[in-house]
Amino acid sequence: MKVIVLGAGIGGLTAAHELAKRDIQVVVYERNDRVGGLARSKYYTQDKKTYPVEYSWRVYGTGYKNLQRVLKEIPLREDQDKSIFNNLLRVATYIFPRFDRPEVILSPEYKTQGSAWDLSSQEKLQMIDKMFYCITMSRTRMDSMDKLKWKDFCEDLSGEAKKYMVRMWGPVLGMDPSYMSFPVVARIVGVVFGGFLSTAGALYLMKKPTNDGWFDEWVAYLESKGVSIQTQHALRDIRIKDGKVSGVSVYDVEQDSEVEDTADYYVLGLSVEALAKIVEAHPDLKKIPELHNSIPLAKVSRQVQLSVQIFLDQTVIYPTHQPPILYLPDSPWAIIIEPQELVWGKTYSTDPRVKSVWSVGICQTDEPGILIKKSFNECSQEEIRQEVWAQIKRSYAQANIKTESGEKVSEQHEVLFYMWDSFKYNPYTKLMEIWEPKFSNNAASLQYQPSSSTSVSNLFFATGYTKTDRFIYSMESAAEAGTNCVNKILEVSGTRQPKTKKYPFKLPVSILKPLIWIDAGLFKLGLPHMGDMLPNSLWMMGGYACLLCLVFAGVVWGFAQVLFLVNYQYVST
């Protein structure tokens, strides 16, 4: 059996990984000069000095069980007894530097006072009401609300509450706060609602630049298993004959030539915009529903999440012992920062001036800045630089974050401000353009997302935007999709090899499942959510708590009666 994997992102490489474990012949084609998709990193060279840069900042959830399983199966070349999972560092420290007021810190080291958030009791209750509404909703009702934007669901919240209930979710989930889908955020709210009370508040960070710590090791492992990985090979066409894929045409960038290849099964691990372009150019591919859907999906899910690396000539000192993740809640561009040198243990730059490395994500596309007064997609690179520094400096002004010399952090300590090279400012349109946009689970995107299998019997999907239990576009959903894809191939091929175990997505607040079951029944009857039939969801929560207390009291009473009867019979005899 031979399988061709088109695209070497996390989904495609997971599929190759699972196939290679079963000694199945695999060829992987990737359009870029390195693997990793939108998770990849590289080294930028300027004046003969190198600097580590990433397509985007990233975190690894502690609940990413499917991804963790894969990482634990990839041995490190320097120590075969360790795996990629050993290259992850667990952190649970979050700093929220704010405009013109002190920062808020969430960390096991600190006991944050509720008053530090500057939220009134009414605002907090409204936020809890929204969260409780989400975690008591059935999946069928959620899916029916795909066209609803999360920001519209939170429209009645105050401006301060929206900073944490709407804008913050953009950087946290890698989505655009203005367009993200209600069902996606509602599911994740369930995790966070129960998570910060347990372990989901913690995250993992990679202890090296991503390709150094993960993808280079993965490529070496896959190639040792016989997988052929061909970079700089871009898919041009998928040939369909008699209802099946009969072959693919791939463009070899280095040789400037077309390559024809065939296999028994084909796996699509391409970004949605790359697939959409191919489908649009070939009318026969538009006849396949799952491929045709890539065209509207690419439009509705498009997100321009700007990635920037800032290199500083001073060590930055933070008020925590653990490496923090910083989110700037008052930043109109929804800025999030990872201080990489604290996680990596060094800067990985050959420039001796570099002491600190920030990976910066800019997630809000349509809000004007505080200095340039334009949204970032209307700014040139220099304007973006000035605006990013303006928002950081104002956020850090009253925060206990300083350089090693005791100064406030500013652009005067900047060695390099690097913007990922997929982004280019067009002086004619006066817009920031990108040939490699990020996928975002925006409102109305669910209806177009593909499943692992397609109507073409030997064609499968293994991407982060494939429908999975995780639901949201993420590294975990890509790993799950790659696993699902291979399990489907094993099923249709008739092989007797065992399928890979999949870890389903589970909400941590299982005590609320009866309310979810009730809502599923209400939805089936065409009735609204219980939270809509009461003044707010807190009434439902209070009533449910009372019911649980009555049930518990009834169980205790019943148990006491049994003990009494047993004791009475014993005494009588």
Tokens describing residue 420: 């990922």
In this prediction, residue 537 carries a pLDDT of 61
Looking at residue 119, its amino acid is L
Give the model's pLDDT for residue 546. Answer: 72
Confidence at residue 195, expressed as pLDDT on a 0 to 100 scale: 44
Please tell me the distance from the alpha carbon of residue 543 to that of residue 405, in angstroms, as a whole number: 56
Closest among 556, 537, 460 to 189, alpha carbons compared: 537
Sign of CA dihedral 425, 326, 190, 200: positive
Helical segments of 269-326, H only: 272-281, 283-286, 289-292, 294-300
| DSSP E strands, 448-569 | 459-461
CA distance 231 to 286: 27
Q: Give the pLDDT confidence score for residue 171 in this predicted structure.
A: 80
In this structure, the strands spanning 316-317 and 302-303 are: unpaired
Distant-in-sequence, close-in-space partners of 324: CB < 8 Å, separation ≥ 6: 91, 93, 94, 95, 105, 107, 318, 339, 342
According to DSSP, the β-strands at 335-339 and 325-327 are antiparallel
Q: Is 556 exposed, middle or buried (0-12, 13-18, 19+ CB in 10 A)?
A: exposed
DSSP class of residue 118 equals: -
Tens digit of pLDDT at every position of the chain (573 positions): 999 999 999 999 999 999 999 999 999 999 999 999 999 999 999 999 999 999 988 899 888 999 999 999 999 999 999 999 999 999 989 999 999 999 999 888 766 554 567 788 888 888 888 888 888 888 899 989 999 999 999 999 998 899 888 888 888 788 888 899 999 888 887 666 544 444 446 889 999 999 999 999 999 999 999 999 999 999 999 999 999 999 999 999 999 999 999 999 999 999 999 999 999 999 999 999 999 999 999 999 998 888 899 999 999 999 998 899 999 999 999 999 999 999 999 999 999 999 999 999 998 888 999 999 999 989 999 999 999 999 999 999 999 999 999 999 999 999 999 999 888 888 898 888 888 888 999 999 999 999 999 999 999 999 999 999 877 899 999 999 999 999 999 999 988 899 999 888 765 556 777 888 888 999 999 999 887 877 766 666 666 667 667 666 776 677 667 776 766 565 555
